[in-house]
Amino acid sequence: MPALITPALVCAARHHGEHGAIARLLTPHHGLLAGYVRGGRSRAMRPVLLPGNAVKAEFRARTEEQLAGLSLELEHSRAPLLSEPLPAAAIDWACALTAAALSEGTPHPALFQALDGVLGAVEAAPAARGWAAALVRYELLLLAELGFGLDLGRCAATGGDTDLAFVSPRSAAAVSRTGAEGYESRLLPLPAFLLEGGTGEWRAILDGLRLTGFFLERSVLTGWRADVLAARERLVERLGRVVG
């Protein structure tokens, strides 16, 4: 089989054997791909395999069923961010979610662009509020790409498209204030920035994370995938401290 050479984002890596590592990368046109990195545990390769790094990847395999051998060239390192608790937690979660949620070999070009954008925002923003809303939108996009998208266009109760303020946890559809009357405690808040754009206030961002987290946990991060939720809990806890 011919080699595949592609830009990619490192999402996860784990030790394999005495010296190697298996890396999972998100690529723009081939989705999530895994490969064996010879010498992946070496001093030279460990900094390359950090989550969030942008790399040039070359996959080589004799057959489609065989785990590909993987060579990596570092294009852009985000290692300096990993010494900062909030950016490190955001990168850890976004990459862990991607590696756990996606099936290998299924193209998700919109997710590649969105994840690259979130990682760039974490790197460029002077404070967490500059990237937290983008992370919520990334989670919404991932839900939609996997077939669990939320219907935020119209009220599930009245059919109207104004004053949408809640989401039904049962139907994943928006509900207006009028339609929700008397049932507010049973619904999830729908932050306005998800409909109107912008970054949102902190309370709205936390509501957004609560919203996406509910559906990720229910529909995507089940079984063994639930292990990655610990990374999300660390991030939400640290963001909660910012709000105070």
Average pLDDT over residues 147-152: 97
Domain architecture of the chain: domains with CATH = 4-77 (2.40.50.140), 81-152+190-243 (1.20.1440)
pLDDT at 57: 97
Q: CB-based burial of residue 173 (10 Å sphere; 0-12 exposed, 13-18 middle, 19+ buried)?
A: middle
pLDDT at 199: 85
- The DSSP secondary-structure symbol of 67 reads P
- Give percent of the chain with pLDDT exceeding 70: 99
Query: Tens digit of pLDDT for each residue in 51-71?
Result: 999 999 999 988 777 899 999
* Intra-chain end-to-end CA distance of the chain, in Å: 55
Q: Answer whether 240's CB lies under 8 Å from 206's CB.
A: yes
CA distance 146 to 19: 35
Q: pTM of the entire structure?
A: 0.94
Q: Answer whether 97's CB lies under 8 Å from 232's CB.
A: yes
CA distance 84 to 80: 8
Rounded to a whole number of angstroms, the CA Rg of the chain reads 19
Q: Is the pLDDT of residue 243 over 80?
A: no
Instruction: Give the contacts of 26 (CB within 8 A, at least 6 positions apart).
Output: 8, 9, 11, 32, 98, 102, 108, 111, 112, 115
Alpha helices, DSSP H, located in the chain: 85-101, 109-124, 129-145, 177-180, 193-196, 202-215, 229-243
Q: Is the pLDDT of residue 241 over 90?
A: no
pLDDT band for position 41 (cuts 50, 70, 90)? confident
Q: Answer whether 176's CB lies under 8 Å from 165's CB.
A: yes
Alpha helices, DSSP H, located in 20-127: 85-101, 109-124
CB atoms under 10 Å from CB of 152, counted, come to: 16
DSSP lists the bridge partners of residue 166 as: 175, 189
Residue 108, both tokens: 């998700």
pLDDT band for position 79 (cuts 50, 70, 90)? very high
Q: Answer whether 111's CB lies under 8 Å from 145's CB.
A: yes
Query: Tens digit of pLDDT for each residue in 191-206?
Result: 999 999 888 899 999 9
